[in-house]
Amino acid sequence: MSAVSIKSGFDFKDPDIWQRGVPHDQIADIRRNTPVYWNEEANGPGFWAVLRFEDIHEVSRNPSVFSSATANGGHRIFNENEVGLTGAGSEELGIPFISMDPPVHQKRRLLLVPGLSSARLKEMTGRIEARARTLIEAIPADEPFDWVESVSAPYPLMTLVELLNVAPEDWKKLYHWTNAFIGEDDPEFRASPEDMTARLGEFGAYMSWLYEARRRDPGADIASALANAETDGKPASFQQFVADMILVTVGGNETVRNSISNGLIAFADHPDQWRAFCENPDIRAGAVQEIVRYVSPVLHMRRTATEDTRIGGTKIRKGDKVVLWYVSGNRDETVFEAPDTFDVRRANVRHLGFGTGQHVCIGQRVAELQLRIIFSEMARRFSGFELAEAPQRLRSNFINGLKSLMLVAKGRT
Secondary structure of 311-353 in the HEC alphabet?
ECCEEECCCCEEEEEHHHHCCCCCCCCCCCCCCCCCCCCCCCC
Q: How far is CA 383 from CA 136, 354, 403, in A?
A: 13, 29, 24
Count CA atoms closer than 13 A to 335's CA, side-chain side. Answer: 20
Peptide linkage before 103 cis (omega within 30 of 0):
yes
Residue 317: its pLDDT value, please? 98
Q: Which residue has the higher pLDDT, 265 or 358?
A: 265
- Neighbour-count burial of 271, counting CB atoms closer than 10 A to its CB (0-12 exposed, 13-18 middle, 19+ buried): middle
Which pLDDT value is given to residue 88?
62
Q: Is 3 a domain residue?
A: no
Condensed to tens digits (0 to 9), the pLDDT of residues 283-310 reads 999 999 999 999 999 999 999 999 999 9
Range of the domain at 66: 15-411
The top-scoring range by mean pLDDT among 22-26, 178-182, 225-229 is 22-26
Tell which residue, 32, 49, 36, has the closest CA to residue 312.
36
pLDDT tier, 316 (very low <50, low <70, confident <90, very high otherwise): very high
Distance CA 246, CA 244 (A): 5
Beta strands 392-393; 402-404: pairing state: antiparallel
What 350-354 contacts at long range (C-beta under 8 Å, 24+ apart), as own/partner pairs, is 351/289, 351/292, 351/293, 352/53, 352/56, 352/57, 352/293, 352/296, 352/326, 353/255, 353/259, 353/292, 353/293, 353/295, 353/296, 353/297, 353/298, 353/326, 354/255, 354/292
Let me know if residue 1 belongs to a domain. Answer: no
Q: What is the DSSP letter of 292?
A: H
Would you say 116 and 366 are in contact if contact means Cβ atoms under 8 Å apart? yes
The pLDDT of residue 87: 64
- DSSP assignment of 265-284, as one string? HHHHH-HHHHHHHHH-GGGH
**pLDDT value for 193:** 84
In this predicted structure, the answer to whether residue 4 has a pLDDT above a threshold of 70 is no
- Summarize the chain as % helix, strand, coil (round to 5): 50, 15, 35
* pLDDT score, position 90: 45
How many Å apart are CA 267 and CA 277, to the nearest integer? 9
Q: What is the pTM of this model?
A: 0.94
* Listed range (106-115, 154-163, 300-309) with the worst mean pLDDT: 106-115
User: Is a pLDDT exceeding 80 seen at residue 2?
Assistant: no
Q: What is the count of structural domains for the chain?
A: 1
For residue 404, being part of any structural domain is answered with: yes
Residue 5, in any domain of the structure: no
Percentage of residues in the chain having pLDDT higher than 70 = 96
- Over range 193-210, report the average pLDDT: 91
Looking at the domain assignment, is residue 8 inside a domain? Answer: no
380-400 average pLDDT score: 97
Q: What is the CATH number of the domain that holds 153?
A: 1.10.630.10
Q: Is the pLDDT of residue 1 over 50?
A: no
- pLDDT attached to residue 47: 97
What mean pLDDT do residues 400-406 have? 97
Report pLDDT for 106: 87
Check: CB of residue 273 under 8 Å from CB of residue 128. no
Structural contact between residues 398 and 87, judged by C-beta atoms closer than 8 angstroms: no
pLDDT of res. 7? 43
Give the CA angle between residues 329, 263, 156 to the nearest 5°: 100
pLDDT score at 89: 56
Pairing of strands 44-50, 321-325: parallel
Confirm whether 7 is domain-assigned. Answer: no
pLDDT beyond 60 at 239: yes
Between these two residues, 255 and 357, which has the higher pLDDT value? 255
Average predicted confidence (pLDDT) for the chain: 93
Average pLDDT over residues 338-363: 93
Q: Is residue 174 part of a domain?
A: yes
* Confidence at 5, pLDDT banded by 50, 70, 90: very low
Classified as helix, coil or strand, 56 is helix
Between 413 and 251, the higher pLDDT residue: 251
At residue 37, the 3 state secondary structure works out as: strand
Q: Are 175 and 154 in contact (CB under 8 A)?
A: yes
pLDDT at 84 over 90: no
| Residue 10 located in a structural domain | no
CA 246/CA 196 separation, integer angstroms = 14
Cα-Cα-Cα-Cα dihedral of 344, 350, 352, 358, to 10°? Answer: 150
pLDDT band at residue 191, thresholds of 50, 70 and 90? Answer: confident
Mean pLDDT for 271-286 is 97
Q: What are phi and psi of 66, to 5 degrees?
A: -120, 100
